[in-house]
Structure formats: C-alpha cells, structure tokens
Structure 1
Amino acid sequence: MCDTVEYPGQYRGTRRRNFLKLAGAATVVGLGVGPLLSTQARADALTKAQRDSMTPKQIVDAMKHGNARFQRGERKARDYLREQRASAAGQYPAAVLLSCIDSRAPAEVIMDLGIGDVFNCRVAGNIENSDILGSMEFACKLSGAKVVVVMGHTACGAIKGAIANAELGNLTGLLDKIKPAVEATKYDGERTATNYDFVDAVSRKNVELTIANIREHSPVLAELETNGTIEIVGAMYNLKTGAVTFFD
C-alpha cells in the first residue's frame, strides 16, 4: 500500500518506508505490524501511516538499536538502489539530525539508517543558524518528522578551534558561535584544546546550548515540542568506540 503526503504547492508524492523495522521487536511489537520484524532489508517496509503512528521515543529507540548493530558490525543488508527508487516520488523521514561535518561521524551510517529515513543537517561544530532552523521547521512542521537530534562528537576539531581562539576567514565567525559553550563548561582541569577531556566536555555543553538556541530562536519548533508533536534531544558520538549516547 502506498500513502500520499501533501506539501504546500507542488510537493506531493508517494513512497514506501524502511525505518520502523530498525527499532527492533521490543519497539514495534505494540504497533502490530508483523512484517516489520523481518530481518530482511525492505525498502518498502514502512508507509507514511506507519511513520505517523510512531512516537518520538520509538524513533529514538530505532536509532539506538541501529547504533548497537553498527557497534557489533551487524548492520542490516540494504539494497540502496531499491531505497532510492522507492523514495524518488516522495519522502517521509522520521527525524531531522543536526550533526558535525566530521567525516568520521556520518549519522546514517553510525545509526544504521537508510535512504530517506532522516533529514540531515551538517555543519562544523553542529551549531544552529537561521537556515538550519528553517530546514528543521520544514522537516517537522511540513514533512512530519517527529524528532530533532543535535549530535556532537568526541575530539571535535571545531570545538578545539573555538577553545584555541583559532582564526581563519569565515571559520572565525563560526567558531565564535561555539565559544559560549567553552565559557559555560564547568571543568576543574586544564582548559586547553589539547586536553581531550575538556574538549569533549565543551562538545557536550555545545550540544546543550544548541538545543536551547533552537527552542529560543524557533517558535515553530518550540510550539511543536510543547504540544508533544516532536521531541528535541541531544546526543554524543564517540569516535573511538562507535557508540552514540543520547542525553537523558
């Protein structure tokens, strides 16, 4: 069965989805959709109706289960060509992610997600700006995504640059947006860019402040969260272990 989603103007399409099965049996059993428990990768496993029936918690759980598989080296076999073809006419992503451009932290890979499962915004230091906020508003208000994830990572170069007061063209202005996190991080040890414990503490604080900025600067997303339509969550990715830890 195909489902149709309507967007303002010309945005209209149909597709079948492949996200819900990622949550595993513990997450989906209450939804009563037996085929989603299959171990086979299917590009048409999840319809719009099924995506819409998921709670934000179930979507986050799907990401956690996917990351657990990634850490075990047991990622699902995927037919990306089928996923590409299935998503060509329309998309129903379950979440929007704001993550760093670091080449070692591709969100879809480390959480075992497929084509069309999530919107992904990437910028050094995973900071928000008006363009990213507008993208998130489109993803959630118009396209139906139910989770906003801000994900930082360990040993982040942008964080180190902000700590060290690095200056380079347009990068200088970007790092200025991270410096409030440097100042707000409580840390008794060496507060330098070469102390990776401090760097990681700042990275986590940067995620927290970015989430606060999203709520403050986007009344659209703040209202959706207040109404329980979406959930805004933070996470950290550990480059050494491959683990994504979601904040409580």
Structure 2
Amino acid sequence: MYTQSKETQNQLTPDQAFQLLKEGNGRFIKNLKAQRNLLQQVNETKEGQHPFATILSCMDSRTSAELIFDQGLGDIFSIRIAGNILNEDILGSMEFGTKVVGTKIVLVLGHTRCGAISGACNKVELGYLTGLLHKIQPAIDQVSANPPHDSGSTPDFVYQVTEANVHLTLQRIRTESPIIADLEQQGLIKVVGGMYDVETGLVTFFEK
C-alpha cells in the first residue's frame, strides 16, 4: 500500500476518499490489513505529508482512526478529543487539513458506549471536564425534545445522544466555518458523519 503523494492526493476525488475509508473499515472488521512497510512510510513522509482525510473522533482508547480505517503513516489527520466535541481550535485544524494541506473528506466519528456522552447525560461535573461535557448538552436537549425516547442515561438514550451529537457537529462545521462550507459547496471535499460500534468494529456512515 503506497503513501499518499501530492500527485495522488490531487487526483483523488472526495467520493474516492470516502470509498478508501469504507474499504479500510471493511478490511478492519475482516481482520485483513493492507500490506504496508511503516518504516518505508516514515522515509516517504519525511519531507512532507499529503493525507486524504481529516477525522474528528473521540479519545476513547478503542477508537483509533488509523486502525479502524486501516490507514498508514501520512494518510489521515486524526483529531481526537473526549466526546468528539467541536471548538474553535478543532475547526481551525480542520480548515488547515482541508484548505491548506488538501484532504478530500472531513469525517466526524462518534462511537457506541461513549463515556463522555454517558457522563454528559448523567450531569457529571469534574474540573475542566465539566465545560467539555457541557458542549454535548445541545444533543441531549434535542433528543429529550423529540420523543419517543428512553429517559435519563439508558443505553438507548445515550446512543441517540451520541448520534445527535455527530449530526449537530456536522451542522456546526458547515455553519461556523465558511472555508469548509465553501469547499464542500464547490465539490472539493465531502463532510460526513459516522458511528463506530465498539462491539463489532463496524462504522455506519451518514452524509447529512
């Protein structure tokens, strides 16, 4: 498996980049890894990087984007934070990844059994974590306002909040970053969401 070069990155379409992620996850759940020489990739990327994807995911130790999508060194920008929440620094990182470096897809990836989402649903307060979890409140409010749903912190409610959090984050990216919104409108990038199942390894994607 080759490392992305500037030429291959430029030739890649957003749909093809999306397909690379789908195929990578397919290999992951079948325990089939693409053949890579990581030390060779270290050498190939020493002068620069040309990743094809920018991925915002949770810091959960089970959700490494490079593993989930079977990618190598230099293939993706991986932004990880509890609850895959969004802030100005993360938006800036996404703008750097897309507009400056040229990634062709932005993926917001939530996951099942997310401790951050569960903590937010349970109103956990702990130092700076309190402020981070508060950023998930809009998703909680949205699910609570749209019955039928299970109340409180039941597994089904937490799942619904997790998925709502991804959708709301996609909306915020498009609303708060004119740079990314313009790239998407021009068809130069795709902005998609996904849910990773920690029990099966499967990623379910949604584009809106």
Q: TM-score range by the shorter chain?
A: over 0.9
Identity rate, percent: 47
Contact 2:121–2:140 (8 Å) recurs in 1? yes
Q: Deviations over 1:112-133 (max 9, x none)?
A: 0010101011010101111011
Q: Are 1:49 and 2:7 counterparts?
A: yes
1:184 corresponds in structure 2 to: 142
Aligned counterparts of 2:156 and 2:26: Cα–Cα separation in 1: 24
Equivalent residue runs for 1:202-217 within 5 Å = 202-217=161-176
1:7 corresponds in structure 2 to: none
Equivalent residue runs for 1:1-248 within 5 Å = 41-43=1-3, 46-185=4-143, 186-193=146-153, 195-248=154-207
Q: Deviations over 1:160-189 (max 9, x none)?
A: 011111100111011111010011123424
Contact 2:56–2:80 (8 Å) recurs in 1? yes
TM-score where L is the length of structure 2: 0.95
Aligned counterparts of 1:140 and 1:47: Cα–Cα separation in 2: 15
Ranked by relative contact order (alpha carbons within 8 Å, sequence separation 6 or more), the top structure is 2
Contact 2:5–2:49 (8 Å) recurs in 1? no
Tell me the number of residue pairs that the alignment of Structure 1 and Structure 2 aligns. Answer: 205
Report the Cα offset of residue 192 of structure 1: 2.2
**Aligned CA-pair RMSD:** 1.2
The unaligned stretches of length 5 or more in structure 2 are none
Contact 1:187–1:198 (8 Å) recurs in 2? no
Aligned counterparts of 1:172 and 1:166: Cα–Cα separation in 2: 7
Matching residue's letter, 1:145: T
Task: Kindly name which structure, 1 or 2, has the bigger radius of gyration based on alpha carbons.
Answer: 1
Q: In structure 2, do the counterparts of structure 1 residues 54 and 42 end up closer, same or farther at CA, with 3 Å as the change threshold?
A: closer
Partner SS, residue 61 of structure 2: coil
Aligned counterparts of 1:60 and 1:187: Cα–Cα separation in 2: 33
Q: Deviations over 1:86-107 (max 9, x none)?
A: 1111000111000000000101
Structure 1 stretches of at least 4 aligned residues deviating more than 3 Å after TM superposition = none
